[in-house]
Chains A and B, each alone.
Chain A
């Protein structure tokens, strides 16, 4: 692995004509071709289109035009965010040949800022998974140790940035799918507040939980990408009209009277001891910098997984009903005497993988007559209580610190039981349930059989307080 060049530095060099965008894109494509077969980060790349866009960027710079803050920067896009070119498969057989007729708002804004979309990255099917093993097109491997998973579901995006294949990438989160792979791969990953980034063009999984977010090799790059993508969009009525602060310009500022909360439920004995050690050391770094550390009690933390798997599965069962073999996507070969129902049921059975089928079944069950009250309605009530618990915590501190993931990257094939896999998201899931923001930044390594496995520090802040979140993250990054 090579030390990745930052987005800011790369774009500056291109605008200053120290490098051409075409050369940067060509180098990127060559590296992907050479290294990616062993990692499986990319589902497909767009060489022709990327080189054409890069040439156009160079021409604009030559003419003295403003090429945008991301001029010539290669960016990878998770394969569940649509682009009006190439395919968008969501890692699923049911969308294996799907070509979207339009481009997601988040991607459109990156393109408008001069970024080059270099390709689409592998993910767990429909973003359901925590290891990258649920893609219908093969797993992604962790660049730090290819026998291990990169985390998921934004597996390819996290691994591509960690391997230095691209300086930045987009992922999506429903319950930790950016922060958890960022932690396991040793990069920065951000889950923005619900409504901060338009969901237009993000293939829907859990609509009250989903957000698009960035990966970068440093806090500044993640802030830069979020700043470009964030803001209202009339095509997503849940996108917030709030102004977008200058995130990258704000990150070096101090937080006055910084108070950081450490929830007692986050440093459990069940965590990998190396994870707890690294997070405790990070807390001490902040204390040494003058932050006041306060203990916080979040007793509902342990109910997050149960709450999430009711709500997200319920929403998924409704959202994924659209894959019916009628308007787009895979249709099962017709058999004599089959009616419309048979076509639906066989197309969906053939097109969806096991994990997606399980969650559709779970969601169907918790929404069905007789169980709706006991499961779905109750989960929404617990969701309110979890959100209230966060509100109370943020009265006592600016941010909550803890591990992003209870464990480091695990070997491929190790977690075959679905529930064990779900428990990987214990510390990230409640951020989505409450709609607040969170970031994972690298905070050390665990040495396992000679491999250095990254550990992520999670910083959660209240909704739309990304500025504080980035400042606190940057403070640690600058110091260590």
Chain B
């Protein structure tokens, strides 16, 4: 049976999802995701004409809180969790890529 996803599509999704996967992983996920999407395709059987989408089950609207300054976590507590810090800031590798990312 033809797989629903091509290997290039799986690679593209992995790129968008910020996951650097090996060729073996891409192959494995291609088959598994195709099977799952085949099942999900069942949704096309349901008549949804004119049905309002339901993003969440909550019946609450516009819950407002008092506009007062609350306590925040101390900066040093937050920075203590970071993998790399420099001069009191979060440190990351260079931001501008050498080539365009898709």
B16 within 8 A of A: yes
B82 within 8 A of A: yes
Q: Are B82 and A327 in contact (CB under 8 A)?
A: yes
Q: Please, what's the 1-or-0 string for A293-331, where 1 marks a CB less than 8 Å from any CB in chain B?
A: 000000010110111011000000100010011111111
Q: Are A346 and B93 in contact (CB under 8 A)?
A: no
Q: Are A306 and B19 in contact (CB under 8 A)?
A: no
How long is the Cα–Cα vector from A344 to B18 in the complex, in angstroms? Answer: 6
A99 within 8 A of B: yes
Range class of the B interface residue count: 35 or more
Q: Are B18 and A340 in contact (CB under 8 A)?
A: no
| Chain B residue at minimal CB-CB distance from A375 | B40
Chain B stretch 59-102: residues in CB contact (< 8 A) with chain A:
59-60, 63, 65, 73, 77-78, 81-84, 90, 92-98, 101
Q: Are B53 and A377 in contact (CB under 8 A)?
A: yes
Q: Are B36 and A381 in contact (CB under 8 A)?
A: no
Cβ–Cβ < 8 Å partners of B101 in chain A: 341
Q: A340-B94, A345-B19 in contact; A234/B51 too (CB < 8 A)?
A: no
Shortest Cβ distance from residue B89 to the other chain A in the assembled complex, whole angstroms: 11
Shortest Cβ distance from residue A284 to the other chain B in the assembled complex, whole angstroms: 33
How long is the Cα–Cα vector from A365 to B44 in the complex, in angstroms? Answer: 17
Q: Are A387 and B54 in contact (CB under 8 A)?
A: yes
A101, A307, A381: the one contacting B51 at CB < 8 Å is: A381
Shortest Cβ distance from residue B14 to the other chain A in the assembled complex, whole angstroms: 6
Shortest Cβ distance from residue A370 to the other chain B in the assembled complex, whole angstroms: 11
A396 within 8 A of B: no
Q: Are A382 and B43 in contact (CB under 8 A)?
A: yes
Chain A CB within 10 Å, residue with most, of B16, B19, B40: B40
Chain B stretch 31-61: residues in CB contact (< 8 A) with chain A:
32-33, 35-37, 39-46, 48, 51-60
Cβ–Cβ < 8 Å partners of A101 in chain B: 73, 77-78, 81
Q: Are A208 and B60 in contact (CB under 8 A)?
A: no
Q: Are A317 and B83 in contact (CB under 8 A)?
A: no
Shortest Cβ distance from residue A326 to the other chain B in the assembled complex, whole angstroms: 6
How long is the Cα–Cα vector from A435 to B95 in the complex, in angstroms? Answer: 41
| Chain B residue at minimal CB-CB distance from A350 | B20
Cβ–Cβ < 8 Å partners of B37 in chain A: 362, 365
How long is the Cα–Cα vector from A142 to B55 in the complex, in angstroms? Answer: 36
Q: Are A384 and B51 in contact (CB under 8 A)?
A: yes
A273 within 8 A of B: no
A99, A334, A357, A379: the one contacting B81 at CB < 8 Å is: A99
Chain A CB within 10 Å, residue with most, of B32, B65, B90: B32
A306, A340, A361, A364: the one contacting B95 at CB < 8 Å is: A340
B1 within 8 A of A: no
Shortest Cβ distance from residue B56 to the other chain A in the assembled complex, whole angstroms: 4
How long is the Cα–Cα vector from A362 to B20 in the complex, in angstroms? Answer: 15
A451 within 8 A of B: no
Q: Are B17 and A317 in contact (CB under 8 A)?
A: yes
Q: Are B56 and A194 in contact (CB under 8 A)?
A: yes
A383 within 8 A of B: yes
Cβ–Cβ < 8 Å partners of B32 in chain A: 358, 417-419
Cβ–Cβ < 8 Å partners of A340 in chain B: 92-95, 97
Shortest Cβ distance from residue A376 to the other chain B in the assembled complex, whole angstroms: 9
Cβ–Cβ < 8 Å partners of A344 in chain B: 18
Q: Are B57 and A418 in contact (CB under 8 A)?
A: no
Q: A310-B43, A340-B95, A341-B101 in contact; A362/B36 too (CB < 8 A)?
A: yes
A394 within 8 A of B: no
Cβ–Cβ < 8 Å partners of B52 in chain A: 381, 384
Cβ–Cβ < 8 Å partners of A368 in chain B: 13, 16
Q: Are A237 and B19 in contact (CB under 8 A)?
A: no
Since A237-B60, A357-B21, A384-B54 are in contact, a sample of 9 more A-B pairs with Cβ atoms closer than 8 Å, ordered by chain A residue number, is A303-B42, A306-B41, A345-B18, A345-B20, A349-B20, A374-B44, A377-B53, A380-B53, A381-B54
| Chain A residue at minimal CB-CB distance from B52 | A384
Q: Please, what's the 1-or-0 string for A136-159, where 1 marks a CB less than 8 Å from any CB in chain B?
A: 000000000000000000000000
Q: Are A361 and B19 in contact (CB under 8 A)?
A: yes
Can you show 28 pairs from A to B with CB atoms below 8 A apart? Answer: A99-B81, A101-B73, A101-B77, A208-B58, A234-B65, A303-B42, A306-B40, A306-B41, A307-B43, A309-B39, A326-B92, A327-B82, A337-B98, A339-B95, A341-B97, A343-B93, A349-B20, A361-B17, A364-B17, A365-B33, A378-B44, A378-B46, A380-B55, A382-B46, A383-B54, A384-B52, A384-B54, A422-B39
Q: Are A339 and B93 in contact (CB under 8 A)?
A: yes
How long is the Cα–Cα vector from A241 to B65 in the complex, in angstroms? Answer: 13
